[in-house]
Each structure stands twice: as C-alpha cells, then as structure tokens.
Amino acid sequence: MFALPLTDDAELRPLEPWRSGEFLANLDRCREHIAPWVGASFVATDADSARQVLQNYADRWARDGGGIWGIWQRGTLVGGVLFVSFDVAQGVCEAGCWLEAGAEGQGLVTRAARVIIDWAIRERGIHRVEWETKAGNERSIAVARRLGMRRDGVRREAAPGQSGRADLELWSVLAPEWKP
C-alpha cells in the first residue's frame, strides 16, 4: 500500500473495497453536502452498497478503466478523487471528486486531483482529461480552473435531479497544456 502526502496532516491512498466501512462513514457525514452534485450510483447507503461502489472501482482499475483514491486527514477519510472513466486507447479520461464540508478550503481536492491527472498524462499517455460538473457547483468549477482546465461547454439539462434537470459543464486539459 502507498500513501502520498498532500499536506502536513492529509494524505492520498487507494480506496479499496475492504475500506467500505470508512467510505460509508464518510458518505454519511457528507451525504447532504454532496447530494446535489454526485450521481446516485456513487452515494452508498449501507454496508453492502458501500462495498459494491468500491468494488466497482476496483474492477475498473483491474480492467484499466478507472480508479478511486481516498483523502485521509488526521487519519479520517474526508473525501477523494477518482477516474470515472479511463480509456488509454482513446487517450481520454474523466476525473472527479467529493469532499466533506469540514475539509473544504484547504486545497486537498486540487492537490489530490493533480496527483492522479499528472500520473494519467505522464505515465499512461492520456491526452485529454475531462472534468464534468453540474452548473452551479462553484467549488468543483474552481478546482477545474486551478488545475488549468478550460471550459469546453455546457450540456443543457443533461442531468436529472431531485429539483428537475440540470445543466452539466464540461472542462478539460490537454497533455500539452498540463502544468503540474
């Protein structure tokens, strides 16, 4: 196992299925906070579904099609970053994140996303990294900007939600533009 330091008190580690209890506890703490922004398939509600979400990402990792890593701060899982999709043949992947409200404003997601994006571009030869977020998710948009991404456009009313359909913004950075 590895752990990469992000700050003096935070680190990035693989988020494997055996950590499903920690993952569920993290989701329980941030469920209301992230609910407007993440898909229902990600937000586990019990031990079985938490393990299944992590197993899905472990299976993607094994197929070279995605992955998930947790951000631990002072020993507690507070969020993470992931590759929603990862296609080496096409040279395209989609990165994403989630974080508890109490861990915001410290640059944790930006640092963690920078680690996985840098790996994807430098080690795996990914040419285009995408970042998709619901319009209005200012924190996620700010991360995309800090990562040097450009706004490619808006997919109007592309995401169903509790209060109707939402626009999705697509951001990206290309390998030649990447500055870790």
Name the least confident of 28-42, 91-105, 144-158. Answer: 28-42
Domains identified in the chain, total number: 1
pLDDT value at residue 164: 84
**Is residue 120 in a domain?**
yes
2: pLDDT confidence band, cut at 50, 70 and 90? confident
Q: What is the extent of the structural domain holding 27? A: 4-127
**Is residue 60 in a domain?**
yes
Average pLDDT, the chain: 94
**Is residue 70 in a domain?**
yes
Tell me whether strands 10-14 and 67-73 are parallel, antiparallel or unpaired: antiparallel
pLDDT value at residue 122: 97
**Is residue 151 in a domain?**
no
What letter represents residue 138's amino acid?
E
**Is residue 168 in a domain?**
no
Residue 111, pLDDT > 80, answer yes
Residue 153, pLDDT > 90, answer yes
41: pLDDT confidence band, cut at 50, 70 and 90? low
Task: State the CATH number of the domain containing residue 96.
Answer: 3.40.630.30
**Is residue 163 in a domain?**
no
**Is residue 51 in a domain?**
yes
The 10s digit of each residue's pLDDT in 48-103 is: 999 999 999 999 999 999 999 999 999 999 999 999 999 999 999 999 999 999 99
**Is residue 171 in a domain?**
no
Residue 30, pLDDT > 90, answer no
